[in-house]
Amino acid sequence: MTHPNARRIWLTGASSGIGLALAEQLLKDGHLLALTARTVKPLEDLENLYPGQVLLAPGDVTDGEQVTAIGDRIDQVWGALDTAILNAGTCEYIDSSHYDAALFERVVRTNLLASSYCVQEALLLLRHGQEPHLVGVCSSVTFLPLTRSEAYGASKAGLRYLFESLRVDLAQENIDVTVVSPGFVDTPLTAKNDFAMPMRWSAQKAGKHIAERLQRSRRPLEIAFPLPFILMLRLLSLLPTRLRLALGKRMARAPAKDAR
């Protein structure tokens, strides 16, 4: 059932992981959601569960023309947005002994360039919304360089800078900007990880945590969790550079042997 104070929210990356869990929570809270992802079935399932609350807006956000079409669809139905949550992303790890620039490009295109396409369309709609709010899902990896995370970390660091700069420039338009920095969360992406993931949260716990904080009267500049993990990364980031290098070397794997 729609809440009397329901917000019109665009959520990308809504078909799995944090995005799906966040969509479920926001719909339970009575908001209207425009849902974007390449995989349509989970979006249709939510539409069936929450009739009248879901606007299907599927598409590939790495394609600028598709993003423009999504923005046009939202405009035609709602005429404005109150909140845009840009959550779509991917993760691939780099093997430095066989550096793959194409992998780097894929990750940056999905995590950073696609978000920029979405920002362009979101701002056009947010400027007509009520108490507009722009939200970007980044990552706690930006607090500390980690092994094999060159592509993922660089894309998320760029995303953080994009949103923090937008926060400054959009303040004069009264558009709030929040950065979300999750630690390890159980998602289809992290299920592929072959290393320990300390203080890992379920996607449902993460979705509920984000939703609760986004709906506070005083909007947060950042939502970072879990707190002990975030504090640990921030403290490690304060170490002298050579100590951080020594720590990173202990975490890094031995280079793969060349089979040729």
pLDDT tens by residue, 2-16 = 777 899 999 999 999
CATH assignment of the domain containing 176:
3.40.50.720
Q: How far apart are CA 180 and CA 193, in angstroms?
A: 21
Q: How many domains does the chain have?
A: 1
* Residue-level pLDDT at 96: 85
Q: How far apart are CA 77 and CA 45, in angstroms?
A: 20
Does some domain include residue 228?
Answer: yes
Does some domain include residue 258?
Answer: no
Residue 96 belongs to domain spanning: 8-251
Does some domain include residue 257?
Answer: no
Does some domain include residue 145?
Answer: yes
Does some domain include residue 260?
Answer: no
Structure tokens of 259?
């089979």
Structure tokens of 241?
């550079």
Chain mean pLDDT for the chain: 92
* Residue-level pLDDT at 242: 92
Q: What is the DSSP letter of 257?
A: P
Res. 254 pLDDT band, cuts 50 70 90: low
Residues in the chain: 260
Query: Model confidence over 128-175: pLDDT tens digits?
Result: 999 999 999 999 999 988 888 899 999 999 999 999 999 999 999 999
Does some domain include residue 2?
Answer: no
E strand or H helix that includes residue 10? strand 8-12
Does some domain include residue 3?
Answer: no
How far is residue 68 CA from its own chain's centroid?
A: 19
**Least confident interval from 7-16, 75-84, 178-187, 251-260:** 251-260
Does some domain include residue 203?
Answer: yes
E strand or H helix that includes residue 109? none
Task: Please tell me the number of Cα atoms within 13 Å of 134 on its side-chain side.
Answer: 29
